[in-house]
């Protein structure tokens, strides 16, 4: 019986891109103004999060706002989560097929100030109620919610 070892999810990954893909990386790196290595990393993250190239600009802007080493990764994860969540309640499927609508949705989802307004304007009234109802139930059922307990009383036996 073989012993399974833990996987290091943060291990360095290296590969040679080859001439054709190397040229594409160089072109994209010049367009984005970042290194080829960072370009390859960002493309991989976007692909893993099922995001397309037209979303790069708002994702890069959100990454700058978030800051830190994982800003771009966090922005992609948030955009992916917003798109998957919206797919459950969105009344207009064009948001997932029309590149411009999808980009607008992602921009709004990454901007906490406009998120509520955008959701209200793009979802049907029934979907908004459903969306907010689901969120409310999650909050109510959340174990993180502070619960008010009365302290136990100790009765003395005399």
Between the alpha carbon of residue 24 and those of residues 18, 53, 155, the distances in Å are 10, 13, 77
State the Cα–Cα distance between residues 126 and 110, nearest whole angstrom. Answer: 23
Whether the pLDDT of residue 141 is over 60: the answer is no
pLDDT, tens digit, for every residue of 23-63? 999 999 999 999 999 999 999 999 999 999 999 999 998 88
Can you give the residue ranges of every domain in the chain?
26-141
Tens-digit pLDDT profile for residues 74-108 = 999 989 888 888 777 766 677 777 788 888 888 88
End-to-end CA distance of the chain: 64
Question: Does the pLDDT value for residue 73 go beyond 80?
Answer: yes
pLDDT at 8 over 60: yes
Q: Does the pLDDT of residue 142 top 70, yes or no? A: no
Q: How far apart are CA 158 and CA 155, in angstroms?
A: 9
Other beta carbons within 10 Å of 18: 10
């Amino acid at each position: 019986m073989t012993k399974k070892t833990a996987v290091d999810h943060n291990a360095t990954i290296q590969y040679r891109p080859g001439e054709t893909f190397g040229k594409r990386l160089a072109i994209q790196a010049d367009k984005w103004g970042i290194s080829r290595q960072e370009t390859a990393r960002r493309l991989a993250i976007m692909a893993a999060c099922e995001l397309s190239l037209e979303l790069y600009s708002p994702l890069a802007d959100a990454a700058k706002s978030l800051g830190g080493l994982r800003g771009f990764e966090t922005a992609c994860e948030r955009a992916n989560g917003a798109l998957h969540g919206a797919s459950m309640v969105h009344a207009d499927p064009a948001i997932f097929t029309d590149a411009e609508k999808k980009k607008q949705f992602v921009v709004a989802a990454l901007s906490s100030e406009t998120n509520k307004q955008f959701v209200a304007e793009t979802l049907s009234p029934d979907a908004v109620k459903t969306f907010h109802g689901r969120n409310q139930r999650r909050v109510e059922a959340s174990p993180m919610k502070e619960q008010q307990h009365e302290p136990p009383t100790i009765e003395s036996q005399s």
